[in-house]
């Protein structure tokens, strides 16, 4: 075969590997029909819903990103996804496990020596704390599934920004070093305490092994390859000009604009902001969808790029890494036990995927407060979509086009 033909063949194969899978429009309006009354009453300021089933997709952009400006909410509007960032850290850990550079049951101290000797607080009476030396070795598995014994946030990080918070605070490596010097809440591996700190420690392990800042590793190995061009820990002023604004909601009353929350304060992109693996990544609905579709496709992005092997996703992301008595959680991702896994965020965002059934349900809002009576209607709409007979003949399904 001539060189010219070889070059053309290689180019064609590369193109085939990067062609995006295009879902078929469902032509259904389940979510819009279920939520329109809440949009009309102002109880829901704005929301994005994506429902996907085996190549067929229903997308609904409802209401406003900014009610006062009457700016409709759009798929490329940036928003803070909060704790959904944890799943991104889980993927970076899984990459290193797959490459043989890390074992989930490795002691954290193998990579971060300050964790070699840890202390557990057993009592606090009249201001006197009783500490005992931890018996169990703290493992990477434990920090990533919230059984390490760490608080939600370390006090030093909360004090670093007025009111505390995970959109600012401290560098990841400093969070880990500070956490190692403080007593644990319980013996590692014996209980569950939801913890941004633990996930940041996992990110510090990634930094040590890779020799790169965690956010740089994330961009090079996950965000960039998936084409998540609008996701970062410091959105630009131009991006923030069309962000999804935050609203305090209360069923039965119009939502009220909220400039910021104590745990996430403006400005969102100045020098006080440090990347946090526990919660801190800004994204868009378009970008977040790419990440979760990769998980649903067992490691393959919709652009055909493979981030992880299918078995890696199945064994340590879609399957709980905790003992059965401690609830379902893998590596920064909640596992339901019925095939669904994913994560939510503090301001109401949520995405869950089911690889076996090829299903995805994604919800984008920026809400504080409650109650939220529309959540029941939203669940019923999703179930109606998943139970409907949908024509996927027009979907651009995968036929092994991966690289």
Segment 260-274, tens digit of pLDDT:
877 777 778 788 789
Find out whether 110 and 204 touch, Cβ atoms under 8 Å.
no
pLDDT above 90 for 16? no
Residues 357-383, buried b or exposed e (16+ Cβ, 10 A)? ebbbbbbbbbbbeeebebeebbeebbe
211: left (phi over 0), alpha (psi -120 to 50) or beta: left
The pTM assigned to this predicted structure is 0.91
pLDDT at 125: 81
In the CATH scheme, what is the code of domain 76-351?
3.40.710.10
- The distance of Cα 43 from the centroid of its chain, to the nearest Å, equals 26
Averaged over 61-87, what is the pLDDT?
98
Averaged over 245-251, what is the pLDDT?
97
pLDDT at 329: 98
Q: Which of 183-187, 188-192, 389-393 has the lowest mean pLDDT?
A: 389-393
Percent of the chain beyond pLDDT 70?
90
Report CA-CA distances (Å) from 19 to 14, 295, 359.
9, 18, 21
pLDDT at 340: 98
Find out whether 45 and 347 touch, Cβ atoms under 8 Å.
no
pLDDT above 80 for 3? no
pLDDT in tens, 144-184: 999 999 999 998 876 655 554 444 578 999 999 999 999 99
Please report, for the chain, the start and end positions of each structural domain, with discontinuous segments joined by +.
76-351
Mean of the per-residue pLDDT values for the chain? Answer: 91
pLDDT in tens, 93-115: 999 999 999 999 999 999 999 99
């Amino acid at each position: 075969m001539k060189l010219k033909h070889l070059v053309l063949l290689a180019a064609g194969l590369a193109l085939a590997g990067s062609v995006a899978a295009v879902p078929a429009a469902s032509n259904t309006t389940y979510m819009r029909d279920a939520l329109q009354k809440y949009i009309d009453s102002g109880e829901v300021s704005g929301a994005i819903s994506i429902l996907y089933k085996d190549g067929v997709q229903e997308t609904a952009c409802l209401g406003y990103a900014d009610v006062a400006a009457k700016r409709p909410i759009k798929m490329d509007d940036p928003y803070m996804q909060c704790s959904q960032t944890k799943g991104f850290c889980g993927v970076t850990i899984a990459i290193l496990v797959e490459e043989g550079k890390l074992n989930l049951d490795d002691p954290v101290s193998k990579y971060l020596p300050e964790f070699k000797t840890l202390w557990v607080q057993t009592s606090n009476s009249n201001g006197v704390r009783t500490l005992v030396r931890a018996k169990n070795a703290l493992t990477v598995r434990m920090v990533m599934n919230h059984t390490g014994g760490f608080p939600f946030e370390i006090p030093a990080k909360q004090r670093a920004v007025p009111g505390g918070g995970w959109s600012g605070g401290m560098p990841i490596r400093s969070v880990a070093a500070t956490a190692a010097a403080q007593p644990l809440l319980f013996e590692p591996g014996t209980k569950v305490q939801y913890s941004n700190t633990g996930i940041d420690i996992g990110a510090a392990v990634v930094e040590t092994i890779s020799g790169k800042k965690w956010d740089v590793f994330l961009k090079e190995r996950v965000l960039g390859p998936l084409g998540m061009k609008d996701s970062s820990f410091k959105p630009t002023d131009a991006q923030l000009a069309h962000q999804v604004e935050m609203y305090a909601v209360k069923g039965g009353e119009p939502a009220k604009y909220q400039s910021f929350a104590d745990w996430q304060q403006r400005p969102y992109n100045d020098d006080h902001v440090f990347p946090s693996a526990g919660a801190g990544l800004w994204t868009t609905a378009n970008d977040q969808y790419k990440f979760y579709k990769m998980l649903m496709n067992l490691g393959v992005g919709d652009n055909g790029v493979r981030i992880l092997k299918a078995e890696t996703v199945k064994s340590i992301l879609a399957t709980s890494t905790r003992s059965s008595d401690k609830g379902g959680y893998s590596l920064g991702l909640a596992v339901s036990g019925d095939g669904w896994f994913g994560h939510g965020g503090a301001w109401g965002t949520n995405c869950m995927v089911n690889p076996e059934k090829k299903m995805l349900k994604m919800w984008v809002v920026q809400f504080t407060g409650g109650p939220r009576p529309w959540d029941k209607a939203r669940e019923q709409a999703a179930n109606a979509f998943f139970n409907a007979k949908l024509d996927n003949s027009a979907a651009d399904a995968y036929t092994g086009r991966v690289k």
